[in-house]
């Protein structure tokens, strides 16, 4: 068997952000073995990685991060020395409907990975030396900003307001507890809203691009006054790569775009860009914007201060939002087969059938 320089486990690697991270690592580090562990729930789609699935250094394991024995065996058999943990339930609306699945996946799943990694690594000849558990979290753990000038820093106290953010906050605490209790080398990053190709179309930007394409309503919560900081997903993947290789163990790094937009302004820009790409006259889809009852516990404003990441590791966003939005809208319109396949659920039934025969 080929000996690799590093053996990296990426959880949730068939999802939106995870697939970008896996693709980057597989292409950038041919001397690394990249193992993608994914349960292939509704948001996990191996079609996201079709371009690298034949690469010699890419391996896929269908598994549940809550399955302790299976996870432990994968870490041991693949000689994993680094874990980049992205697998998570992440849609706030779904967490409001069913908080239990968020607690199970995000909290118990993270704990399972931590304990499995600890068991295997402590048994190895060199212990924790050369090992790293990198946990990807969210800015939502910090709660809502109170003024228009505040930014979330790594020192901002946690104040989660939704079942989703509460589950992510809890998982962050477990990661830090393993650092402090067992001296496990860990690092955490908290990122702002991501957008870009391969995002499951329950999220605002791909959902609205698809709705504009089909001339369906664009439901905006409340009056669209909620503010979010947006980051192009490939910039996030680049930051994850950098933090994994050069970040200081035990530290937390905030990742944001310094790019705040009110939801209604974002939607209007998205309508303008998508209409132009579709060849519609300007203002054609404005009538699709509709205001709906606001979401429960809807935080007004998130904004990330990425100064630490920039000053220590030299990272900063590469795209202006308008350019990123143009690139994103064009990708979804150019990949309508992927979008139709995902929205129909056909991809999920295919994988269920494929793995049920094994």
**Among 58, 134, 164, 302, which one carries the catalytic annotation?**
164
pTM of the model: 0.93
Closest alpha carbon to 191 in 317, 43, 335, 318: 317
Whole-number Å distance between alpha carbons of 232 and 116: 32
Q: Long-range pairs for 104-107 at CB < 8 Å and ≥24 separation? A: 104/66, 105/65, 105/66, 105/167, 106/164, 106/167, 106/168, 106/170, 106/171, 107/167, 107/170, 107/171, 107/174
Asked if residue 231 lies in contact with residue 194, where contact means CB atoms within 8 angstroms, the answer is yes
Cα–Cα distance measured from residue 232 to residue 352, given in angstroms and rounded to the nearest whole number:
31
**CA distances to 70, 74, 352, 357 from 67, in Å:** 6, 11, 18, 20
Cα 214 vs. chain centroid, distance in angstroms?
27
DSSP string, 183-226: ---EEEEEE-EEESTT--TTSHHHHHHHHHHTT--EEEETTS--
Residue 164 annotated to the active site: yes
3-state DSSP assignment of residue 316: coil
Reading the chain (358 residues) residue by residue, the pLDDT tens digits are: 689 999 999 999 999 999 999 999 999 999 999 999 999 988 899 999 999 999 999 999 999 999 999 999 999 999 999 999 999 998 898 999 999 999 999 999 999 999 999 999 999 999 999 999 999 999 999 999 977 789 999 999 999 999 999 999 999 999 999 999 999 999 999 999 999 999 998 889 999 999 999 999 999 999 999 999 999 999 999 999 999 999 999 999 999 998 999 999 999 999 999 999 999 999 999 999 999 998 888 888 999 999 999 999 999 999 889 999 999 999 999 999 898 888 876 544 544 444 443 3
Question: Cα(91)–Cα(288) distance, rounded to whole angstroms?
Answer: 23
User: Among the options 64, 81, 89, 139, which is catalytic?
Assistant: 139
To the query of whether residue 140 is one of the catalytic residues in this protein, the response is yes
Catalytic residue selected from 38, 89, 140, 172: 140
């Amino acid at each position: 068997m080929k000996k690799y320089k590093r053996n990296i486990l990426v959880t949730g690697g068939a999802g939106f952000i995870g697939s970008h991270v896996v693709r980057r690592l597989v292409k950038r580090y041919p001397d690394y073995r990249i193992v993608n562990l994914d349960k292939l729930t509704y948001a996990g789609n191996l079609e996201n990685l079709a371009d690298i699935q034949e690469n010699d250094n890419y391996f896929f394991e269908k598994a549940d991060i809550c399955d302790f024995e299976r996870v432990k065996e994968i870490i041991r058999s693949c000689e994993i020395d680094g874990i980049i943990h992205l697998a998570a339930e992440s849609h706030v609306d779904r967490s409001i409907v069913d908080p239990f699945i968020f607690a199970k996946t995000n909290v118990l799943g993270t704990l399972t990975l931590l304990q499995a990694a600890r068991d295997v690594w402590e048994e190895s000849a060199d212990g924790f030396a050369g090992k790293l558990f990198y946990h990807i979290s969210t800015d939502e753990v910090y709660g809502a900003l109170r003024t228009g000038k505040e930014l979330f820093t790594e020192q901002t106290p946690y104040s989660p307001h939704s079942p989703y953010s509460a589950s992510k906050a809890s998982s962050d605490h477990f990661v830090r507890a393993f650092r402090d209790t067992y001296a496990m080398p860990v690092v955490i990053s908290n990122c702002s809203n991501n957008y870009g190709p391969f995002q499951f179309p329950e999220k605002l930007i791909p959902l609205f691009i698809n709705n504009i394409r089909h001339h369906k309503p664009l439901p905006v919560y409340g009056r669209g006054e909620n503010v979010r900081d947006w980051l192009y997903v490939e910039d996030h993947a680049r930051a994850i790569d950098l933090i994994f290789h050069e970040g200081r163990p035990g530290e937390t790094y905030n990742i944001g775009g310094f790019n705040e937009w009110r939801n209604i302004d974002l939607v209007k820009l998205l309508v303008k860009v998508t209409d132009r790409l579709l060849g519609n006259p300007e203002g054609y889809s404005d009538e699709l914007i509709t205001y709906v009852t606001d979401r429960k516990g809807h935080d007004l404003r998130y904004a990330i201060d990425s100064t630490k990441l920039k000053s220590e590791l030299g990272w900063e966003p590469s795209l202006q939002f308008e350019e990123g939005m143009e690139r994103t809208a064009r990708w979804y319109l150019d990949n309508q087969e992927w979008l139709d396949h995902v929205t129909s659920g056909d991809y999920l039934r295919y994988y269920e059938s494929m793995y049920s025969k094994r």
